[in-house]
């Protein structure tokens, strides 16, 4: 069983060289046990044929708004209404503009206008088209309408230029689809809010080949960035070196050291929400320019360490302090007591405290976690759940906390 088993996906392929990747996406969904119905725009048909699409979907490809046969067998309204999730990949600048304007001049735009659910949109276009203010405004409008934009990413383009505009890889789009199916896309309660999330470890160089690091996988921090983005927030993720992909639709900044993480975070402020989930190295070695050599007398070198900046504490006490600041506490004993002490010491609003070594239980790198949500007035022990479920529950907690502050503010006015 996978998240797509027995689910029906409506895939809209519009014009772009990336359309060939959508054939692989169909294969992934079918392999996962889902069904795919596909609408090809006139532009899409220039890049992949209805025949190859229908062979992979095992169903005809829909191309024509005015086809009497298609309309009697499967009306354009049913096409979007019967789908569990709608994905547009590639989404061309033209289809994005059609959607932003609410146009219905071909089958794809009509099915989207007649739809009763938000869509996942995977743009693909030339970098200048992506950066054009008209496209930017259209994208903002689609976000306001509740759609989720996944990608694009940066890279070499088919047109020979380099920049933002490459469609996400089929595997990444598939992950976004499973995420959307796991739980219906949350209502866009964080639209208009900005969020800063830190994730992963930091690496502090000892010399050009060695470093001090830790075993953080980044899974929890990345899941939080995804959940906040899915709730409508404009998210910046600052991450240390990890082996997982950048979350779709999230501006991701890659850093190595705690000092670089702090700079990227301060550059991102002001923000409405900050979640520090990174496992920041507490110390950095005095760096050696050259590789430290063995001395030949069995003695080991002394590595001089200095304390790293505390990013959570700095953000909590910053002149541009976000309205809500959340930290984690990785503890090996006295969870509540240490969590509460950390809340006060760092000056944040919520600490999610977890035991990182209990009865041999492994947290680093796994998909499961168990946390206690600690505020100045309460401790709430959350049941064990997946890191992605924790991320969603934390997002709900953030939404409630922001609503409370807004209610208090308007009562005071
Ligand atoms: N943190 C941070 N910058 C640091 C150290 C920690 O932003 N230099 C943040 C982490 O992202 C986490 C929280 O502070 O949200 C607590 O991290 P943790 O490692 O549990 O605590 P420390 O502050 O390092 O304290 P100690 O190791 O003494 O428990």
Are 8-182 and 194-285+303-412 in the same CATH fold? yes
The rounded distance, in Å, linking the Cα atoms of 149 and 230 is: 9
Do residues 152 and 21 lie in contact, with contact meaning Cβ atoms separated by under 8 Å?
Answer: no
CB atoms within 10 A of CB 209: 9
Residue to probe by mutation, ligand 1, list 282, 325, 338, 364, most atoms within 8 Å of CB: 282
Atom of ligand 1 nearest to the CA of 198: 11
The rounded distance, in Å, linking the Cα atoms of 77 and 99 is: 16
Atom of ligand 1 nearest to the CA of 346: 14
Q: According to DSSP H, which parts of 284-386 are helical?
A: 311-316, 335-346
Can you give the pLDDT at residue 358?
Answer: 55
Can you give the pLDDT at residue 359?
Answer: 52
Do residues 380 and 386 lie in contact, with contact meaning Cβ atoms separated by under 8 Å?
Answer: no
- Helical pair 133-144 and 93-101, crossing angle rounded to 10 deg: 50
Exposed/middle/buried for residue 379 (C-beta within 10 Å: 0-12, 13-18, 19+): middle
Do residues 24 and 32 lie in contact, with contact meaning Cβ atoms separated by under 8 Å?
Answer: no
Residues of the chain short of pLDDT 50, as ranges, are: 185, 360
Catalytic residue among 159, 265, 348, 373: 159
Least Cα distance to 118 among 83, 152, 151 occurs for 83
Ligand 1 atom 17, closest CA: 329
Q: Is the pTM of this model over 0.95?
A: no
Fold classified for 194-285+303-412? Rossmann fold (3.40.50)
Residue 239 Cβ inside 6 Å of ligand 1? The answer reads no
Ordered DSSP codes for 224-275: HHHHHHHTT-EEEEEE-S-SSPPPTTSEEEE--SHHHHHHHHHHH-S-SEEE
CB atoms within 10 A of CB 160: 7
Dump pLDDT digits (tens) for 264-297. 999 999 999 999 999 999 999 998 889 998 888 8
CATH class, 8-182 region: alpha beta
Can you give the pLDDT at residue 70?
Answer: 65
Pairing of strands 350-355, 372-374: antiparallel
Can you give the pLDDT at residue 157?
Answer: 76
Least Cα distance to 10 among 246, 181, 135, 127 occurs for 181
159 is catalytic: yes
3-state helix, strand, coil in the chain (%, to 5): 35, 25, 40
> Per residue in 167-188, is it b (16+ CB within 10 Å) or e — as a string?
bbbbebbbbbbbbbbeeebbeb
- What are 61's two structure tokens? 């490809």
Q: In the chain, what are the domain boundaries? A: 8-182, 194-285+303-412
Residue to probe by mutation, ligand 1, list 312, 347, 353, most atoms within 8 Å of CB: 312
């Amino acid at each position: 069983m996978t998240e797509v088993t027995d689910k029906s996906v409506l895939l809209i392929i519009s014009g772009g060289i990336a359309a060939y990747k959508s054939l692989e996406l169909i294969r992934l969904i079918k392999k996962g046990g889902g069904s795919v119905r596909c609408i090809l725009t006139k532009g899409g048909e220039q890049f992949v044929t209805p025949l190859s699409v229908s062979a992979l979907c095992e169903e005809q490809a829909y191309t024509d708004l005015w086809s009497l046969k298609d309309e009697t067998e499967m009306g354009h309204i049913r096409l979007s209404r019967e789908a569990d999730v709608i994905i547009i990949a590639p989404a061309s600048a033209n289809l994005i503009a059609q959607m932003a304007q609410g146009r219905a001049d071909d089958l794809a735009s009509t099915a989207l206008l007649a739809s009763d659910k938000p869509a996942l949109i995977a743009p693909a276009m030339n970098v200048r088209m992506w950066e054009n203010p008209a496209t930017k405004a259209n994208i903002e409008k689609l976000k306001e309408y509740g759609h989720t934009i996944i990608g694009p990413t940066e890279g070499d383009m088919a047109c020979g230029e380099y920049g933002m505009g490459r469609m996400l890889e089929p595997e990444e789009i598939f992950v976004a689809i499973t995420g959307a199916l796991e739980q219906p896309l949350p209502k866009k309660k964080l639209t208009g809010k900005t969020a800063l999330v830190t994730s992963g470890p930091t690496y502090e160089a000892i010399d050009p080949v060695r470093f001090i690091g830790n075993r953080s996988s980044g899974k929890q921090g990345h899941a939080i960035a995804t959940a906040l983005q899915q709730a409508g927030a404009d998210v910046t993720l600052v991450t240390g070196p990890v082996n997982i992909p950048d979350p779709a639709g999230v501006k991701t900044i890659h850093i190595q050291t705690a000092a670089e993480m702090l700079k990227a975070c301060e550059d991102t402020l002001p923000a409405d929400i900050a979640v520090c989930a990174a496992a920041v190295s507490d110390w950095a070695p005095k760096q050696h320019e050259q590789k430290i050599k063995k001395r030949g007398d069995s003695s080991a070198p002394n590595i001089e360490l200095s304390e790293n900046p505390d990013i959570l504490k700095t953000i909590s006490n910053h002149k541009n302090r976000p309205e809500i600041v959340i930290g984690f506490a990785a503890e090996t004993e006295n969870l509540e007591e240490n969590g509460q002490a950390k809340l006060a010491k760092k000056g944040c609003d919520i600490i999610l405290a977890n035991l990182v070594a209990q009865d041999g239980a492994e947290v680093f790198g796994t998909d499961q976690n168990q946390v206690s949500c600690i505020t100045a007035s309460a401790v709430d022990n959350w049941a064990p759940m997946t890191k992605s479920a924790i991320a969603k529950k934390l997002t709900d907690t953030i939404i409630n906390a922001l609503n409370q502050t807004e209610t208090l503010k308007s009562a005071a006015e």
